[in-house]
Amino acid sequence: MSDPLLSLQRKIGYTFSDAGLLTLALTHRSFSGRNNERLEFLGDAILNFVAGEALFHHFPQAKEGQLSRLRSRLVKGETLAVLARGFGLGEYLRLGSGELKSGGFRRDSILADTTEAIIGGIYLDAGMEVARERVLAWLEQHFSELTLVDTNKDPKTRLQEFLQSRGGDLPQYEVIDIQGEPHCRSFAVECQVSLLNEKTHGQGASRRIAEQVAASKALIALGIESKNQHD
Q: From the candidates 40, 44, 150, 190, which is the catalytic residue?
A: 44
Neighbours of 54 (CB within 10 A): 18
| C-alpha pair distances (Å), 188 with each of 102, 178, 185, 193, 206 | 29, 6, 10, 17, 9
Angle at which helices 37-58 and 108-126 cross, to 10°:
80
Check if 53 is active-site: no
Residue 26 in contact with residue 92, Cβ under 8 Å?
yes
Check if 116 is active-site: yes
Q: From the candidates 40, 113, 116, 150, which is the catalytic residue?
A: 116
3-class secondary-structure state, position 72: helix
Residues forming the active site = 44, 116
